[in-house]
């Protein structure tokens, strides 16, 4: 959404893109979806920024209503869906028959609803644990085989619900006391499936969703008997919201940073007025305990790789004092990747935070107890996710969880160390302030890089980096894991990666490049991405040296590159010019470049490079 | 608003037709879009609007406005 488009928004567009329908009833959303389908062509024309995706939906149940409800949610997350819906009961045929419409459709995502009613065999009552395990094992092997078969013939990612344990307990309380009981068996299946889950499958946590929703409301047997709906109509919006979020994550639309206010958000009271003794963080007071609990929750988010930032109207030194000197304040200054406390407006400060962390504004989530501040941010920065904050601090933690803003598809080691690396950034900033010039600064960083072919155990990170990088990304090509598998086994392809460390951090794998040998002795840069955390280190120069060496090894005389502009990759618009490539063609903003291998003079950098075998 | 007026609004929404007018005799046969899919949608909308939960029998048998009026009245008299 850009500011320019806003005045032209129709009611439909406003409802969709503001997400104001999220809390509507299922029947109202069905109505909305019906109207949406009538205006869909126009809507797509007005919004070329929407990300098209082919979405197949199937299950051993009726999926029509969910598909209808899912549609507006996908638009709200910037996805333009093309649907394939399996007919009732067609799941097995869809998957096992290679001639099926499902394979012809070539989905990007295959969403499959599973339910306890799919299970035909249960353990005999009083079976010993070992035979219950064996039965579960058999069931899981059957399911694995089905999905491996699908994976061999489709590059789609699979979103599979786990099984919601029903509100049926024939054994009563004995369900919790017998390993041979049905409830336990279903839980065991969920657990076993998770342990052996291949990475192309992403489980949708229907079990947790239904428990939070209330099992008695989640299940609707009448709806099953009448129209084979797997769960109640009123539960469908919750499921659709979750699916839409995960689909958005698959499309690279992820939130990375949680920006919080301070006064009455991290503690009770106003530090500027009440002072260190006056604010409430007292572990022996219910309100103080509530704020402390929220601080602990934020720490858990930080530990799972979400960046924390402060955006507060305060005097910076007074605000920092709380983190340095308050005896009960749990969070410390170094827990925050960015700390902005001043009297400027929050929209400007959020822009500053995004810039400082080198991430897009659309990666930010804003949590502020003041509704007026939320409204300003909402209207001035529509790309920032602004959370509704409850009046009661005791509800802050759950409100943050429930908002589900950080529903990522995977978690990597790099994610977990990210917060520390931003703390190291602060040290680096201090170093840059003391260095005489930029070259001296780069030299003082004592950078070391390993550049070479991606190894087997790095492929997950390699794929993730290519699929989520927006800024340093020459062509913004995304690959499914299956496509990546094929690519890595292609002899004409050289998948190159760089790993960087400096005096303060080990960044891990932060750049990926896909080189493809083409006819007429040409080497084609099919993709090149780099994490924003290592911009302006001359790593691209060091990598180009390696790319030229690789071209020589391949017997290539020419390296071809291409820049395809997007809304976000302006950073590399002139990258290939700067690296000495010649512009050979330009059409619709897409620029093609060429570099002669024989005329290449290696670039000088301040990075000590260990070249690995090509 | 009278019950029948509320029903008319619901049908207008469900069938996305603001000009739709109904009376007690209006039935599934009079509305081309009233198929098995929109039938479930319609029942859900009526349940939400009137805060009722139809039995399985009611949900499969209801075919016209009069049926809805009767079901709404029965549900309300039993809860009042």
Write out pLDDT tens, residues A18-54.
889 999 999 999 999 999 999 999 999 999 999 999 9
Which three-class secondary structure string do you get for A206-234?
HHHHHHHHCHHHHCCHHHHHHHCCCCCHH
In angstroms, the first-to-last Cα distance of chain B is 19
pLDDT band at B44 (very low <50, low <70, confident <90, very high): very high
Domain assignments of chain A as residue spans, ordered by start = 6-250, 257-403, 413-422+429-611
A386–chain B nearest CA distance, Å: 29
pLDDT band at A186 (very low <50, low <70, confident <90, very high): very high
pLDDT band at A437 (very low <50, low <70, confident <90, very high): confident
Mean pLDDT of A258-279: 96
* pLDDT at A3 (0 to 100): 44
Q: Does A343 touch chain B (CB under 8 A)?
A: no
Q: Can you tell me the distance from the alpha carbon of A154 to that of A480, in angstroms, rounded to the nearest whole number?
A: 10
* pLDDT at A2 (0 to 100): 43
> Which residues face B60 on adjacent strands?
none
DSSP A549-599: HHHHHTT-SEEEEEE---SS-GGGTTHHHHTTPEEEEEETTEEEEEEESTT
pLDDT above 70 as % of chain A: 98
Contact assignment for A64 to B13 by CB distance below 8 Å: no
Residues of A in contact with B36 (CB under 8 A): 227
Write out pLDDT tens, residues A443-455.
888 999 999 999 9
Residue A312 phi, psi dihedral angles, 5° rounding = -140, 145
Write out pLDDT tens, residues A496-534.
999 999 887 888 899 999 999 999 999 999 999 999 888
Q: Is the pLDDT of residue B61 over 50?
A: yes
Mutate to test the interface with B, among A65, A226, A232 (most CBs of B within 10 A): A226
B33–chain A nearest CA distance, Å: 12
Mean pLDDT of A344-365: 93
- Topology adopted by domain A6-250: Rossmann fold (3.40.50)
* pLDDT at A416 (0 to 100): 85
Domain count, chain B: 1
Mutate to test the interface with A, among B48, B52, B71 (most CBs of A within 10 A): B48
Mean pLDDT of A190-194: 97
Contact assignment for B45 to A225 by CB distance below 8 Å: no
Write out pLDDT tens, residues A85-135.
988 888 998 999 999 999 999 999 999 999 999 999 999 999 999 999 999
Contact assignment for B14 to A27 by CB distance below 8 Å: yes
DSSP A350-374: HHHHHHHHT--GGGEEEE-S-HHHH
* pLDDT at A143 (0 to 100): 95
Q: Is the pLDDT of residue A358 over 90?
A: no
Q: Pairing relation of β-strands A448-453 and A493-501?
A: antiparallel
Mean pLDDT of A159-175: 97
Residue B1 or A114, more confident: A114
Contact assignment for A31 to B60 by CB distance below 8 Å: no
Mutate to test the interface with A, among B6, B12, B13 (most CBs of A within 10 A): B13
Contact assignment for B55 to A222 by CB distance below 8 Å: yes
Strand order through the sheet with A79-85: A79-85, A51-59, A109-113, A157-161, A201-204
Q: Does A64 touch chain B (CB under 8 A)?
A: yes
Which structural domain range is residue B12 located in? Answer: 3-79
Mean pLDDT of A144-162: 95
> Which residues face B27 on adjacent strands?
B64
Average pLDDT, chain A: 92
- Topology adopted by domain A413-422+429-611: Aminopeptidase (3.40.630)
Contact A305, A419 (CB under 8 A): yes
* pLDDT at A7 (0 to 100): 43
A325: left (phi over 0), alpha (psi -120 to 50) or beta: alpha
Contact assignment for B16 to A38 by CB distance below 8 Å: yes
Residue A301 or B80, more confident: A301
State which residue of chain B sits closest to A228, comparing Cα positions.
Answer: B40
What is the 8-class DSSP label of residue A455? P
Mean pLDDT of A252-278: 95
Q: Can you tell me the distance from the alpha carbon of A418 to that of B22, in angstroms, rounded to the nearest whole number?
A: 62
Q: Please determine whether the domains at A6-250 and A413-422+429-611 fall in the same fold group of CATH.
A: no
Hey, which bits of A131-267 come out as E strands?
Answer: 157-161, 201-204, 257-260
Q: Can you tell me the distance from the alpha carbon of A214 to that of A368, in angstroms, rounded to the nearest whole number?
A: 29
How many other β-carbons are positioned within 10 Å of the β-carbon of residue A394? 15
State which residue of chain A sits closest to B15, comparing Cα positions.
Answer: A31
* pLDDT at A5 (0 to 100): 43
The CATH class, in words, for A257-403 is: alpha beta
Q: Is the pLDDT of residue A420 over 80?
A: no
pLDDT band at A6 (very low <50, low <70, confident <90, very high): very low
Q: Is the pLDDT of residue A265 over 70?
A: yes
Q: Is the pLDDT of residue A488 over 80?
A: yes
Write out pLDDT tens, residues A270-329.
999 999 999 999 999 999 999 999 999 999 999 999 999 999 999 999 999 999 999 999
Q: Is the pLDDT of residue A492 over 50?
A: yes
Residues of B in contact with A64 (CB under 8 A): 37
State which residue of chain B sits closest to A234, comparing Cα positions.
Answer: B44
Please report, for the domain that includes residue B33, its CATH number.
1.10.1200.10
């Amino acid at each position: 959404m850009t500011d320019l488009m806003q005045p032209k928004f129709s009611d439909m567009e406003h409802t969709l893109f503001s997400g104001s329908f999220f809390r509507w009833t299922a029947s109202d959303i069905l109505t909305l979806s019906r109207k949406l389908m009538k205006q869909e062509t126009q809507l797509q024309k007005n919004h070329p920024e929407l990300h098209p995706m082919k979405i197949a939906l199937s299950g051993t149940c009726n999926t029509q209503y969910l598909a209808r409800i899912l549609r507006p949610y996908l638009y709200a997350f910037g996805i333009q869906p093309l649907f394939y819906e399996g007919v009732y009961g067609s799941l097995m045929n869809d998957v096992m028959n290679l001639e099926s419409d499902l394979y012809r459709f070539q989905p990007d995502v295959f969403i499959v609803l599973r339910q306890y009613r799919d299970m035909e065999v249960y353990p005999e009552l009083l079976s010993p644990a070992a035979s219950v395990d064996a039965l579960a094992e058999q069931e899981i092997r059957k399911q694995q085989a089905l999905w491996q078969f699908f994976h061999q013939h489709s590059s789609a990612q699979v979103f599979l619900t786990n099984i919601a344990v029903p509100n049926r307990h024939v054994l009563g309380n004995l369900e919790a006391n017998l390993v041979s009981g049905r409830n336990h068996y279903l839980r065991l299946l969920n657990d076993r499936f998770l342990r052996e889950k291949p990475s192309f499958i992403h489980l949708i946590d229907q079990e947790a969703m239904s428990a939070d929703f209330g099992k008695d409301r989640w299940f609707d047997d009448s709806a099953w008997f009448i129209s084979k709906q797997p769960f109640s109509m009123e539960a469908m919006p919750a499921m659709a919201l979750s699916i839409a979020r995960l689909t958005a994550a698959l499309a690279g639309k992820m939130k990375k940073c949680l920006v919080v206010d301070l006064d009455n958000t991290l503690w009770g009271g106003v530090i500027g007025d009440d002072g260190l003794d006056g604010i409430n963080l007292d572990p022996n007071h219910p309100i103080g305990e509530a704020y402390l609990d929220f601080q602990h929750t934020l720490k858990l988010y930080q530990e799972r790789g979400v960046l924390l930032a402060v955006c507060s109207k305060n005097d910076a030194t007074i605000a920092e004092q709380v983190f340095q000197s308050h005896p009960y304040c749990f969070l410390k200054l170094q827990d925050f990747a960015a700390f902005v406390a001043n009297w400027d407006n929050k929209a400007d400060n959020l822009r500053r935070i995004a810039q400082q962390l080198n991430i897009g504004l659309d990666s930010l989530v804003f949590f502020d107890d003041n509704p007026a501040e939320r409204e300003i941010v909402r209207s001035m920065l529509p790309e920032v996710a602004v959370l509704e904050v409850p009046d009661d601090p005791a509800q802050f933690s759950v409100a943050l969880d429930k908002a589900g803003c950080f529903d990522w598809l995977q978690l990597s080691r790099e994610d977990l160390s990210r917060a520390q690396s931003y703390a190291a950034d602060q040290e680096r900033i201090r170093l840059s302030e003391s260095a005489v010039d930029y070259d001296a600064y780069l030299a003082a960083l004592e950078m070391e890089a390993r550049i070479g072919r991606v190894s087997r155990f790095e492929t997950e990170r390699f794929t993730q980096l290519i699929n989520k990088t927006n800024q340093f990304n020459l062509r913004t090509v995304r690959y499914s894991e299956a496509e990546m598998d094929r690519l890595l086994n292609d002899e004409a392809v050289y998948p190159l990666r760089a790993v960087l460390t400096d005096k303060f951090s080990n960044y891990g794998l932060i750049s990926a490049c896909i080189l493809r040998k083409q006819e007429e002795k040409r080497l084609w840069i099919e993709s090149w991405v780099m994490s924003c955390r290592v911009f302006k280190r001359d790593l691209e120069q060091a990598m180009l040296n390696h790319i030229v060496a690789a071209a020589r090894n391949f017997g290539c005389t020419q390296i071809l590159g291409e820049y395809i502009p997007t809304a976000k990759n302006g950073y590399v618009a002139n990258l290939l010019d700067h690296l000495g490539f010649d512009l050979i063609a330009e059409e619709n903003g897409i620029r093609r470049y060429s570099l002669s291998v024989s005329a290449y003079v290696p670039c000088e950098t301040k990075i000590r490079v260990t070249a690995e075998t090509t | 608003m009278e019950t029948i007026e509320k029903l008319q609004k619901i049908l207008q929404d469900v069938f996305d037709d603001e000009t739709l007018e109904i009376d007690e005799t209006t039935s599934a046969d009079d509305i081309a879009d009233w198929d098995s899919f929109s039938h479930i949608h319609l029942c859900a909308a009526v349940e939400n609007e009137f805060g009722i939960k139809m039995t399985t029998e009611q949900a499969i048998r209801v075919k016209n406005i009069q049926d809805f009026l009767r079901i709404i009245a029965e549900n309300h008299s039993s809860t009042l």
